[in-house]
Every structure is written in structure tokens, then in C-alpha cells.
Amino acid sequence: MIKLATVGTSAITEKFLSACRLTGRYELHTAYSRSLKNGERFAKAQGFKHYSDDLRAVAENPETDTVYIATPNVFHYEQSRLFLEKGKNVICEKPIATDCKKYDELLALANEKGLIYAEAIMSRHTAGRKVLLDALSQIGKISQARIDFCQLSSRYEQFGRGEKVNIFDMSLAAGTLMDLGIYCVYAAVDLLGAPDSVSACASLANNGTDLSGGAVLGFKDFTAVLSYSKIGQSAIGSEIVGDKGVVKIGSISQYADISLVKDGKEALLLGIPDRAEVMRGEAEKFADYIENKDAFLSDYKSVCELTHNVHSVMDLIKQSAKIKYPIKECKL
């Protein structure tokens, strides 16, 4: 059994823990929160044995071997480094780091210590990925891809009233690219490969937050157009167009709601699974990497390469779109 500690008590942590339970391979050991009262509440609700408000004590506890980190993006690097240095496997919510250089640095540290360091991106490990790859093999030569994730934030009105909202706070390395756009980049690089060129633009709020944006990824024979927004809701999803058919993707973040269009006929290949079941794939795969690394080493290396390539593209998008993060030094 993997003895798990968690850092962060948000809804995404609850969803990941639901997925862990489905695998039967995780023992919930310690829940960390900056607030001891909140940590106690969360631990009791989720079934943890312990809770703590001392991050270093959690990292140094010999009774755990793995940590799942789901805190504001700006803390990911320092928290991941702490746990890796203390000999823990790290599963960190996306984005795993604020730039590719930081990811590469911590991956090297993990490799040096024989640990797993992985980004919790559910699409790469869902059943829908195989469905998508099989469908793409049936549409011939790809001529165009349009990958979209536009979802109106429930907090946008609060932000518009001038209230502090974490997801629109660039000092936390937040914004739309980091929250939603990363799924589009993952899909493009995972399904289509590393692009030859990247250009991008963004709609910026007065505080510098990227509210929406787009990127054009150039490949040898086609382009992929990415669109992402937290200030509007898309209604048409994504599609990859070939000379023999089209693959339609309703949910790019989950690799779900997938249809194949050929000869004027549309066939649904996969609907929308339960969210916990979607996340079960990543929880299961992380357990494989941790418990039997040698057997799954090739797949783990492939995932690490994908993460590197994704964050390389993310860096180019930020540079092209002039997205900046006024990040202050993080203290643990």
C-alpha cells in the first residue's frame, strides 16, 4: 500500500482521494493544512489517520512515502522540492511548475534519489486516450486541429467587482493558461507531437491576468489552433480534421465525449464517464510507477518527456503572449 500524505484541502484533493479509493492501493495517512482546525475537519471527512499544520514534519515523517500536492501554483516548486529532498514520491497538481526549467531541475533531483515526480494531469491516463488514438488512426492525413477549453468561471463576477480571487491572482502564478490552457497544450503535444513553432496572444485584465487566450502551434503539414477562456463558455468543443474523417472531442480535459465522423456519419465512441473514474486512471498509473517502477519505466519516461515538452510550449506561449507572473519568494 502507498502511504499517502496530502498538501491542500480543496475540492480537487477530494476528487483525487475519491479516485485513490477506487484503486484500493493507497493508505490515507496525513492531511496537511495551514489551519490545524481545517486539517482536522478534512482528515476526519476523508478518512486520514493523522492531520498536521507543520509541513516539514509531514515531509520528514518516515511513515509516509508519497505526497499529493494541490496548493496554489506558486507553491508547487518549493513544496515539491522539500518532499523530494526528504525522500518522498511527489504527485503534483498541474501546472507542476511555473516554468520548464524548474520542472527539469526537480525531475533530475527525483531521478537522483530514485523517486517518482509526476504531474497530475488526468487526460494522459484515461481510457479515452486509447479511444482517441485509435480514432485518429482512421481519419487519414491530419490537415487541421482546433483544441478548445473555454469555461466561464463561477468566480468571474467576484473578480469583476474587485474582490481577490486566487484563480485570477498572477502573484499565485494563476490565470487562464495555467488553469485551462494547459489542458489544450497537453492534448496538442500528446496527440500530435511537439510543434515546430509557437505563437500566442492573450486578453489581459488590468492586473495582468490572462482572462482568455489562444495559440497557434505549427507542425510540418498542419496547424493546431488552441483557444482557452475563463470569461466565456464554449459550445462546440474540439476537433481534429483529416482527409478521411474528423475526430470530435467534447471534453479535452478528460479525453471524453469523443465521436468519429466519416462518410457523413457520426458515431459516438465514448461518452462522459464519472469524474472519479476518469481520475482513477492517473491514481492507478502513479501507483504502478511507485510500486513497480522497473516494469513501468518506459511509460514513466514517456510521461516525463511529455511533461517537459508541454511546459516548453507553455513557456513559449507565455513569452509570445506577454504573460508575466509577479511572483514573490515563497516561504514554506
Q: What is the dihedral of CA 94, 98, 104, 107, to 10 degrees?
A: -40
Which SS3 state, helix, strand or coil, does residue 332 take? coil
Mean pLDDT computed over 7-16 = 96
Q: DSSP string covering 133-147, please?
A: HHHHTTS-SEEEEEE
State the average pLDDT for the chain.
96
Reported as a pLDDT band with limits 50, 70 and 90, residue 278 is confident
CA distance linking residue 99 with residue 312, whole number of Å: 8
- Residue 331: the pLDDT is 64
What is the grid cell recorded at 218?
Answer: 505549427
CA distance linking residue 72 with residue 169, whole number of Å: 10
What is the grid cell recorded at 310?
Answer: 508541454
Name the strands in the sheet holding 66-69, side by side, starting at the edge strand that comes first in the sequence.
Answer: 50-52, 26-32, 2-7, 66-69, 89-93, 117-120
Q: Strands (DSSP E) along 121-209, which ranges?
A: 142-150, 197-204
- Residue 274: the pLDDT is 84
Model confidence over 316-326: pLDDT tens digits?
999 999 999 98
Place of cell 492531511: 31
- Residue 292: the pLDDT is 95
Q: Which percentage of the chain shows pLDDT scores above 70?
A: 98
Place of cell 484563480: 167
- Residue 276: the pLDDT is 81
Determine the length of the chain.
332
- Residue 285: the pLDDT is 97
Reported as a pLDDT band with limits 50, 70 and 90, residue 275 is confident
pLDDT at 329 > cutoff 90? no
Encode burial over 129-167: b for 16+ CB neighbours within 10 A, e otherwise.
bebbeebbeebeebeebbbbbbbebeebeebeeeeebeb
- Residue 277: the pLDDT is 86
Model confidence over 133-180: pLDDT tens digits?
999 999 999 999 999 999 999 999 999 999 999 999 999 999 999 999
Model confidence over 219-252: pLDDT tens digits?
999 999 999 999 999 999 999 999 999 999 999 9
Which SS3 state, helix, strand or coil, does residue 263 take? coil
Which amino acid is it at 108? A
Q: Which helix (H) or strand (E) holds 27?
A: strand 26-32
pLDDT at 327 > cutoff 80? no
Q: DSSP string covering 73-99, please?
A: GGGHHHHHHHHHHTT-EEEEESSSSSS
pLDDT at 10 > cutoff 70? yes
Model confidence over 180-194: pLDDT tens digits?
999 999 999 999 999
Q: For domain 2-120, give the fold.
A: Rossmann fold (3.40.50)
CA distance linking residue 76 with residue 97, whole number of Å: 6
User: Looking at the chain, which residues constitute the CATH 3.30.360.10 domain(s)?
Assistant: 124-274
pLDDT at 7 > cutoff 70? yes
Q: Measured over all CA atoms, what is the biggest interatomic distance in the chain, rounded to whole angstroms?
A: 61
- Residue 273: the pLDDT is 87
What is the grid cell recorded at 97?
Answer: 511548475
The residue that leads in pLDDT, 327 or 273, is 273
CATH code of domain 124-274: 3.30.360.10
Model confidence over 69-110: pLDDT tens digits?
999 999 999 999 999 999 999 999 999 999 999 999 999 999
Q: Do the strands 66-69 and 2-7 form a parallel or antiparallel pair, or are they unpaired?
A: parallel
User: Looking at the chain, which residues constitute the CATH 3.40.50.720 domain(s)?
Assistant: 2-120
pLDDT at 258 > cutoff 60? yes
Q: Which helix (H) or strand (E) holds 288?
A: helix 275-291
Reported as a pLDDT band with limits 50, 70 and 90, residue 266 is very high
CA distance linking residue 147 with residue 83, whole number of Å: 35
pLDDT at 330 > cutoff 70? no
N-terminal to C-terminal alpha carbon distance within the chain: 28
